[in-house]
Amino acid sequence: MKKILVTGGAGYIGSHTLIELIKAGFEPVVYDNLSNSSPIAIERVEKIVGQQISFIKGDILDVELLKQTFKEHNFFAVIHFAGLKAVGESVSKPLKYYENNVTGTINLLNVMQEFACQNIIFSSSATVYGNPETLPITETAKRSCTNPYGQTKLTVEYILEDLCKSSQFNAISLRYFNPIGAYETGTIGEDPNDIPNNLMPYISQVAVGKLEKLSVFGDDYDTVDGTGVRDYIHVVDLSKGHVKALEYLVTKDGEKVGFDPVNLGTGNGTSVLELVNAFIGATGQAVPYVMTGRRAGDVASCYASCDKAKTVLNWTAEFDIKRACVDTWRWQSHNPNGYKS
Ligand code: NAD
Ligand code: UFG
C-alpha cells in the first residue's frame, strides 16, 4: 500500500480526497496545522471510511517536524493542499501569504528532496489564468495574476517547473476551477471561518438563515444574463481527480513526468443567477438576492477545457450542478454552524 503525505488534509478539499484515496487503496497521512480546519473533519472521514487515519498536527513552516515525518514514513508522493486561500486577506497581508504558501512549499520540497520523495501533486488554481483571452481555457494559456494569493500559486508553479527541469522531480499541478458541493453523507463539507467570500457557501448560508441576502456582484458583464460565469466542479469529482493523478504517477514510476499542469473543471460555464436558480430548484429553499456593483478583480467568464484531464489522467467530472446543490444543502442544513454545530 503506497503512503501519501496529505498536507492540508483536514481542509475542505483535503478531507474529501482522503475518502477517495482510501477507496483506491492508498494510505494517507495527514499533516495540517488546523489553521483553517477542524479535527472533527478527520473524525467524520474516519467514520465514513471505517478506519483510522494518521494525523500529524504540523505546520509546513516547521522544517524539523517535516523531517521527522519523512523519517517515520516512506512516502510515494505528497498531495500538497496546505495553503491560505482568502484573496482579500492576501491583499492586506501579502507577507503572510507568501510565507505560508511559497516559503512553506519550498520547505516541503527541500525535505522531499532530502528524503528522495520526488512526486508531488500541487493544488493550483484557475486564478493563474488571470483574465483569460480565450475560452474554454487550456493549460497552455498565458498565465498572469492580479492578487498576492494568485501570485503565490503562480510562483509555486514556476518553482516546480524549475525543480522538475533540474532533477527527477515530477509535479502535477492541478488547476482547480470552482469547487462546490459536499460528500453525500452530509457530514463533511466547506466550513468557512467567517462570512464566506465564495458564492456557493454564501448561497447556502442565506438559505439556512445565517445571512440575510446574497449580493450579486455585477449584472453588466458580457455573459448570458450579465452575471459572472464560472466552472463549478463537485468536490467529490475534484477529489477523484487527485487519485487519477496519483495513479498516473504510479504507472509512470521511474519514468520522468516532469512538470505537468492539468485543469480540473467540468468545461461548463454557469452564471451567478443560474447557480442561484439551480440551488432554489434543487432544494426548494428561498435565496433572496440583490444586484450590486462588480467586485474588484473579478473576470466575466472562466471555464476549463478538460481535454487534457481526460486524455492524460483518464478523468472526467461526473456530477452536475444540481447534485452539487443537493449535497451542499444536506451538509449546510445538518450543520448550520459547520463543524461547530
Ligand atoms: P482549506 O482552507 O479548507 O484547506 C487548506 C488546509 O491547509 C486547511 O486545513 C489549513 O488548516 C491547512 N494549512 C494552511 N496553512 C498550513 C500550514 N502552514 N501548514 C499546515 N497546514 C496548513 O482550503 P481548500 O478549499 O480545501 O483548498 C485546498 C487547496 O486548494 C489550497 O491550497 C487552495 O489554495 C487550493 N484551491 C482552492 C480552491 C477553492 O476554491 N476552494 C480553488 C483553487 C485552489
Ligand atoms: N459572487 C457574487 N456574490 C458573492 C460571491 C461571489 O455574486 O457573494 C460572484 C462572483 O462575482 C463571481 C462568482 O460569483 O462571478 C464566483 O465567485 P467566487 O468568489 O465563488 O469564485 P471566484 O471564481 O471569484 O474565485 C474562486 C476562488 C479563487 C480561485 C478561483 C479559481 O475564490 O481563490 O475560484 O479557482 F482562484
pLDDT digits (tens, 9 = 90+) for 31-63: 999 999 999 999 999 999 999 999 999 999 999
Buried (b) or exposed (e) across 189-214, using 16+ Cβ within 10 A? bbbeeeebebbbbbbbbbbbeebeeb
Indicate if ligand 1 lies below 6 Å from the C-beta of 56: no
What percentage of the chain has pLDDT greater than the value 90?
Answer: 97
97 has catalytic annotation = no
**Would you kindly state where each structural domain of the chain is located, as residue ranges?**
3-179+234-265+305-317
Among all bound ligands, the one having the nearest atom to the CA of 216 is 2
Q: How far apart are CA 269 and CA 51, in angstroms?
A: 38
CB-CB contact of 111 with 70 (8 Å): yes
CB-CB contact of 188 with 41 (8 Å): yes
Which of 97, 129, 149, 221 is the catalytic position?
149
In the predicted model, what is the mean pLDDT of residues 307-318? 98
Q: Cell 520540497 maps to which residue?
A: 109
Among all bound ligands, the one having the nearest atom to the CA of 188 is 1
Helix (H) or strand (E) holding 58: none
Buried (b) or exposed (e) across 148-167, using 16+ Cβ within 10 A? bbbbbbbbbbebbbebbeee
Which of 295, 321, 328 to mutate for ligand 2's pocket (most ligand atoms within 8 Å of CB)? 295
Atom of ligand 2 nearest to the CA of 175: 35
What percentage of the chain has pLDDT greater than the value 70?
Answer: 100
Atom of ligand 1 nearest to the CA of 127: 43
Distance 8 CA to ligand 1 centre (A): 6
Q: Is 90 exceeded by the pLDDT of residue 341?
A: no
Angle between helices 104-114 and 63-72 in degrees, nearest 10 = 40
Backbone angles phi, psi at 121, to 5 degrees: -115, 120
Indicate if ligand 1 lies below 6 Å from the C-beta of 193: no
Q: Is 80 exceeded by the pLDDT of residue 253?
A: no
Q: Which pLDDT score, from 0 to 100, does residue 254 have?
A: 76
158-208 per-position pLDDT tens digit:
999 999 999 999 999 999 999 999 999 999 999 998 899 999 999 999 999
Q: Which set of grid coordinates corresponds to residue 234? A: 463537485
**Overall fold of domain 3-179+234-265+305-317:** Rossmann fold (3.40.50)
In the predicted model, what is the mean pLDDT of residues 259-270? 98
Q: Is 80 exceeded by the pLDDT of residue 235?
A: yes
Q: Cell 456530477 maps to which residue?
A: 319
Closest CA to 135 of 284, 2, 20, 303: 303
Peptide bond into 136 cis (omega under 30): yes
Q: How far apart are CA 188 and CA 42, in angstroms?
A: 9
In the predicted model, what is the mean pLDDT of residues 326-333? 98
- Give percent helix, percent strand, percent coil of the chain, each to the nearest 5: 45, 20, 40
Distance 268 CA to ligand 1 centre (A): 24
Q: Which pLDDT score, from 0 to 100, does residue 74 have?
A: 98
Q: How far apart are CA 323 and CA 317, in angstroms?
A: 12
Q: Is 80 exceeded by the pLDDT of residue 238?
A: yes
In the predicted model, what is the mean pLDDT of residues 106-120? 98
| Mean pLDDT computed over every residue of the chain | 97
Atom of ligand 1 nearest to the CA of 10: 9
Q: Which pLDDT score, from 0 to 100, does residue 146 have?
A: 86
- The 8-class DSSP code of residue 2 comes to -
